[in-house]
Structure 1
Amino acid sequence: MRIAIVTDAWEPQVNGVVRTLKSVRAVLEAQGHVVEVVSPDRFYSVPCPTYPEIRLAMATTGAVGAMLEDFAPDAIHLATEGPVCVAARRWCLRHGYPFTTAYHTQFPDYVSARSGVPAEWIWRYIRWFHAPARAVLASTPSIRRTLEDHGLNHVRHWGRGVDLARFHAGVAPHPELAALAGPVQLYVGRVAIEKNLEAFLKTSQPGTRVVVGDGPARAELEAKYPDAVFMGARFGDELAQCYAGADVFVFPSRTDTFGLVMIEALACGTPVAAYPVTGPIDVLTAETGGMGEDLDAAIATALSRDRAACAAYGRTFTWEASARQFHQALVPLHRTAVAA
């Protein structure tokens, strides 16, 4: 099958959307499918207002459509709600081609946190973007309910996976974490306002708080919390060693749709502490972490969990299963399309 994935999130961005798309693409290609990614790096781009690390591509309908026409896909998936996918959406509707979309990010909450614009205003745009899709792919039951509550009822499940060859209980702890006073409490992800990272840095559990990642809020938080260890971004085997070297993984975000980092930590045997919100409530179990509005208490609970049980549970998340769900949701272009 020839599959076109159109996305506004791609390298050099480092986030869960990019990692998901790259991982699923790798599995599909290994199975013999041909996957074309239409991404922002193929267009002129400008910095996103309030978030300059993210570039907004100046993609026209004609340019995106020409790329899709040249590839001649059997199915089209629009991964994000940005300008590249808007152009692809317009082209698909103009030609009567069906497509699927995905809801990767709590976009209304992110925009509201950064701009003060009411989230419901952004939901109008989300409904407009996803309404013509044959299916909207969502990673958890909570996100499905959120979409349905906002009038999007054509939702299909698309789970996430772990690179189990890299993230597993046999990984040796990172030497930098091994040298720290314990218990070592780890955060991995973007260092940005929407990740609610300061809630983690304010906790009072003994030990050392470690932040792996980079982003626009790093300099401010590093100056404000000098006792925390900011390691910057780490990747691949070194990232796995960071998970393995932590006593607990702390996920303070209230706006993520899933949280890939949680299942990567679990696969390395590290229990997770989080708020009882979308993402953690769909991923964590009583045996693999602690959840509560008191993050200190959640950390204390998670520290008591058995690492072997965490690793066993983490192994249940595979990219092969994720790719299968993605493929099953695709709609071949020869089917009758929805009206524009």
Structure 2
Amino acid sequence: MTSSFIPRATFLYDRVINWFPGHMAKGIRVISERLNSVDLIIEVRDARIPLSSINPNFESIVGRKPRMIVYNKFDLADPESKIPLIDAFANYSPHTPVLFTSSNTDNGVRRILNRASEYADRIPMLTVMVVGMPNVGKSSLINSLRRIGVGKGKAAPTGAQPGITRAVVGTIKVLEDPTIYLIDTPGVMVPHIPQPVESLKVAVTGGIRDHLADEQVMVDYLLYRLNKANYFDYATRFKVPDGPTNDCNLLLESVARRIGAISKGQELDLTMAAKFFLKQYRLGKMGRYTLDDISPEALIRFFEQSKSYETESSASRRQAKKLAKLQARKEQRERHSSIMTEVS
């Protein structure tokens, strides 16, 4: 029975999953080269892993450009994760707009267009580059922006697996007045993720090719997280014997029987069962979960350790000093001009 079930207290995992194909290395080089022609960066992250879906390499490259953070797939994340993230950015990066979008509503997409329009008021035409880790939904977001902004169809290819966009493409118009163009970019993975469980989270949410991470291991991690959140509906849905379990094989056997994943030799196909279970999670059928720790303590620790926001702050301070010097020189010239006028 559920009342006597005790979930695992920890999940032991020591393998780091690294995936950095050649097109990603090329993509990040081209992104760097094209930054001079870009007015605004939209960095898309996965709301289910708001910290693990941050690429530090992006941060070091685009950190000094005006940017907007978009947490996509919020319809799949814990709805209570929004406020802590907004509060943390308000404290540590108050000039960075933070927006939340989902596939179920156009409201978030319209907010992105509205915020981008505010930047476009300062210049005749705004060029925006969209960056992010693989499979955070950049291309889908661009297609939605284009559909809502100019009433046109898909301009960027999409797919369930990461790595669909493999090159930086040309500009895509998403708004007529003011004129806004977007540049889609390939999802770029961190060449090396030092924390094993962090790399597993990226894989579970679809940021790394499934076969590289092992579908059954990913299901085992999901089972651990579901049990930890006291979400036991899976036991009823897949008719797991004796209810909730910490045994991943027992779960997968139940899933295989439920969906008819049986090989010619009448053996249960656990890999097919694992793929089905993962798909159900990614579609939100298992509920809405944020896999990263976003407690106040964890967010404080992240922002204080993050070099990217220190860079952004120091860049802002340098810019402020530069503007102050320019203003001082301007005032000095005006005083000098005034004195010369009085003398003459």
Q: TM-score, normalised by structure 2?
A: 0.30
Instruction: Report the structure, 1 or 2, having the larger strand content.
Output: 1
Please say which structure displays the higher CA radius of gyration: 2
Give the structure with the higher percent helix.
2
TM-score by length of 1: 0.30
